[in-house]
Amino acid sequence: MRMAVLGERVDAATAFDWGLVTKATSDEDFSAEVAKLIAKLEAGPAAAYPRITRALDATSLSTLDTALETEREGQLALFESHDFAEGASAFREKRTPQFQGR
Protein backbone atom coordinates (compact mmCIF):
# COMPACT_ATOMS: atom_id res chain seq x y z
CA MET A 1 0.00 0.00 0.00
CA ARG A 2 2.78 2.38 0.93
CA MET A 3 4.55 1.83 -2.39
CA ALA A 4 1.33 2.29 -4.34
CA VAL A 5 0.24 5.42 -2.51
CA LEU A 6 3.61 7.09 -2.03
CA GLY A 7 5.41 5.77 -5.09
CA GLU A 8 8.34 4.58 -3.01
CA ARG A 9 10.96 2.46 -4.71
CA VAL A 10 12.69 -0.51 -3.11
CA ASP A 11 15.77 -2.39 -4.20
CA ALA A 12 15.69 -6.08 -5.14
CA ALA A 13 16.98 -7.32 -1.79
CA THR A 14 14.32 -5.38 0.11
CA ALA A 15 11.59 -6.55 -2.27
CA PHE A 16 12.72 -10.13 -1.64
CA ASP A 17 12.79 -9.61 2.15
CA TRP A 18 9.27 -8.15 2.06
CA GLY A 19 7.96 -11.06 -0.01
CA LEU A 20 7.17 -8.88 -3.03
CA VAL A 21 9.36 -11.05 -5.27
CA THR A 22 10.30 -14.70 -4.91
CA LYS A 23 13.76 -14.48 -6.43
CA ALA A 24 16.41 -11.87 -7.07
CA THR A 25 19.30 -12.65 -9.40
CA SER A 26 22.23 -10.91 -11.00
CA ASP A 27 22.07 -9.55 -14.55
CA GLU A 28 24.54 -12.26 -15.63
CA ASP A 29 22.35 -15.09 -14.29
CA PHE A 30 19.01 -13.62 -15.37
CA SER A 31 18.61 -15.42 -18.71
CA ALA A 32 19.57 -18.79 -17.23
CA GLU A 33 17.10 -18.32 -14.36
CA VAL A 34 14.32 -17.38 -16.78
CA ALA A 35 15.08 -20.46 -18.89
CA LYS A 36 14.85 -22.68 -15.78
CA LEU A 37 11.52 -21.14 -14.80
CA ILE A 38 10.12 -21.55 -18.32
CA ALA A 39 11.20 -25.21 -18.41
CA LYS A 40 9.55 -25.83 -15.05
CA LEU A 41 6.31 -24.17 -16.17
CA GLU A 42 6.31 -26.05 -19.48
CA ALA A 43 6.69 -29.37 -17.65
CA GLY A 44 3.89 -28.51 -15.23
CA PRO A 45 0.14 -29.02 -15.36
CA ALA A 46 -0.78 -26.38 -17.95
CA ALA A 47 -4.50 -27.11 -17.73
CA ALA A 48 -4.40 -26.23 -14.04
CA TYR A 49 -2.64 -22.86 -14.43
CA PRO A 50 -5.71 -20.82 -15.47
CA ARG A 51 -7.79 -22.41 -12.71
CA ILE A 52 -5.10 -21.70 -10.12
CA THR A 53 -4.99 -18.09 -11.30
CA ARG A 54 -8.79 -17.77 -11.09
CA ALA A 55 -8.84 -19.30 -7.60
CA LEU A 56 -6.09 -16.97 -6.39
CA ASP A 57 -7.80 -13.97 -7.95
CA ALA A 58 -11.04 -14.97 -6.28
CA THR A 59 -9.41 -15.04 -2.86
CA SER A 60 -8.20 -11.48 -3.19
CA LEU A 61 -10.97 -9.95 -5.25
CA SER A 62 -14.16 -11.27 -3.68
CA THR A 63 -15.66 -13.09 -0.73
CA LEU A 64 -14.45 -16.35 0.77
CA ASP A 65 -17.59 -18.13 -0.46
CA THR A 66 -16.88 -17.04 -4.03
CA ALA A 67 -13.24 -18.06 -3.72
CA LEU A 68 -14.15 -21.50 -2.37
CA GLU A 69 -16.74 -22.02 -5.11
CA THR A 70 -14.23 -21.02 -7.78
CA GLU A 71 -11.70 -23.45 -6.32
CA ARG A 72 -14.31 -26.24 -6.12
CA GLU A 73 -15.31 -25.74 -9.75
CA GLY A 74 -11.68 -25.77 -10.85
CA GLN A 75 -10.83 -28.87 -8.86
CA LEU A 76 -13.86 -30.80 -10.19
CA ALA A 77 -12.98 -29.92 -13.77
CA LEU A 78 -9.33 -30.81 -13.29
CA PHE A 79 -10.14 -34.20 -11.71
CA GLU A 80 -11.44 -35.21 -15.14
CA SER A 81 -8.40 -33.92 -17.04
CA HIS A 82 -5.66 -35.94 -18.72
CA ASP A 83 -3.04 -33.99 -16.75
CA PHE A 84 -4.63 -34.98 -13.42
CA ALA A 85 -4.52 -38.66 -14.40
CA GLU A 86 -0.93 -38.26 -15.60
CA GLY A 87 0.10 -36.48 -12.40
CA ALA A 88 -1.48 -39.17 -10.23
CA SER A 89 0.10 -41.97 -12.27
CA ALA A 90 3.51 -40.33 -12.18
CA PHE A 91 3.24 -39.89 -8.41
CA ARG A 92 2.33 -43.55 -7.90
CA GLU A 93 5.09 -44.66 -10.29
CA LYS A 94 7.64 -42.26 -8.74
CA ARG A 95 8.45 -40.64 -12.07
CA THR A 96 8.35 -37.14 -13.53
CA PRO A 97 4.93 -36.36 -15.02
CA GLN A 98 4.62 -35.50 -18.71
CA PHE A 99 1.81 -32.92 -18.71
CA GLN A 100 0.09 -32.04 -21.99
CA GLY A 101 -2.18 -29.18 -20.98
CA ARG A 102 -5.39 -31.12 -21.37
Considering only residues 66 and 89, tell me which one the structure prediction assigns the higher pLDDT: 89
Residue 62 has a pLDDT of 67
Q: What is the pTM of this model?
A: 0.56
Instruction: Tell me the CA distances in angstroms from 60 to 63, 64, 95, one per residue in order.
Output: 8, 9, 35
pLDDT tens string 26-64: 899 999 999 999 999 999 998 899 998 888 887 776 677
pLDDT on residue 56: 84
Integer Cα distance of 80 and 97 in angstroms: 16
- For the chain, what percent of residues have pLDDT higher than 70? 98
Would you say residue 24 has pLDDT above 70? yes
